């Protein structure tokens, strides 16, 4: 089951990887060993507020980056029994990241055309009962 700690860890890993940093390099920069970075990234160990602040500085993001898109579970109960909903989970997939990067570079008219096309594909997929991979 995912916890907020796991989601935050995945965000640390994704940003570190995007910057081409190793776990050892991040660890040295924030004063821990690479094994501790591994534990943070897996969610096995909770990252303290001060350590998360340092990690955000090294990874050149605002500390809120690690929490954006996380929502309470559908049950509305936040007691650890339900996993939080990570609205940015799709960014774990390299193809999704590439798609977003390409889309962002398009002029507005092309963005509207791509979005219309993708919406049509999604409706067609839903009507046919196909499962969307991912």
Mean pLDDT along residues 113-133: 80
**Predicted confidence band at 134 (pLDDT cuts at 50, 70, 90)?**
very low
Q: Domain 2-64 carries which CATH code?
A: 1.10.260.40
CA distances from 70 to 7, 21, 25, 117 (A): 8, 25, 27, 28
- Report the pLDDT value the prediction gives residue 91, as an integer from 0 to 100: 67
Q: What is the pTM of this model?
A: 0.64
What is the residue extent of each domain of the chain?
A: 2-64, 85-125
Average pLDDT, the chain: 84
Q: Output the six-digit token pair for 84.
A: 């939080």
Q: Are 7 and 84 in contact (CB under 8 A)?
A: yes
pLDDT digits 0-9 by tens, 59-101:
999 999 898 877 776 655 555 556 677 767 766 677 877 888 8
Residue-by-residue DSSP string for 41-98:
HHTSSPPPHHHHHHHHHHTTS-GGGGTTTEE--TT---SSSSPPEETTGGGGSHHHHH
Beta bridge partners of 71: 85
What's the distance, Cα to Cα, between the start and end of the chain in Å? 18
**Six-digit token string for 122:** 């999604």
Asked if 12 and 40 touch (Cβ cutoff 8 Å), the reply is yes
Q: What is the pLDDT of residue 116?
A: 93
Is the predicted pLDDT of residue 25 greater than 50, yes or no? yes
Q: From CA 67, how far away is CA 65, in angstroms rounded? A: 6
Residue 88 contacts residue 22 (beta carbons within 8 Å)? no
Whether 113 shows a pLDDT value over 60: the answer reads: yes
Contact 57, 21 (CB under 8 A): no
């Amino acid at each position: 089951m995912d916890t907020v700690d796991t989601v935050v860890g995945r965000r640390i890993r994704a940003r570190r990887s995007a910057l081409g940093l190793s776990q050892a390099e991040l660890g040295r920069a924030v004063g821990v060993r690479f094994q501790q970075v591994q534990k943070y990234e897996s969610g096995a160990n909770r990252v303290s507020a001060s350590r998360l602040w340092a990690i955000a500085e090294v990874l050149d993001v605002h500390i809120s980056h690690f929490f954006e898109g996380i929502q309470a579970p559908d049950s509305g109960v936040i007691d650890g029994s339900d996993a939080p909903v990570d609205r940015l989970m799709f960014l774990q997939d390299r193809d999704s990241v590439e798609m977003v990067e390409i889309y962002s570079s398009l002029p507005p008219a092309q963005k509207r055309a791509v979005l219309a096309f993708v919406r049509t594909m999604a409706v067609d997929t839903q009507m046919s009962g196909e499962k969307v991979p991912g």
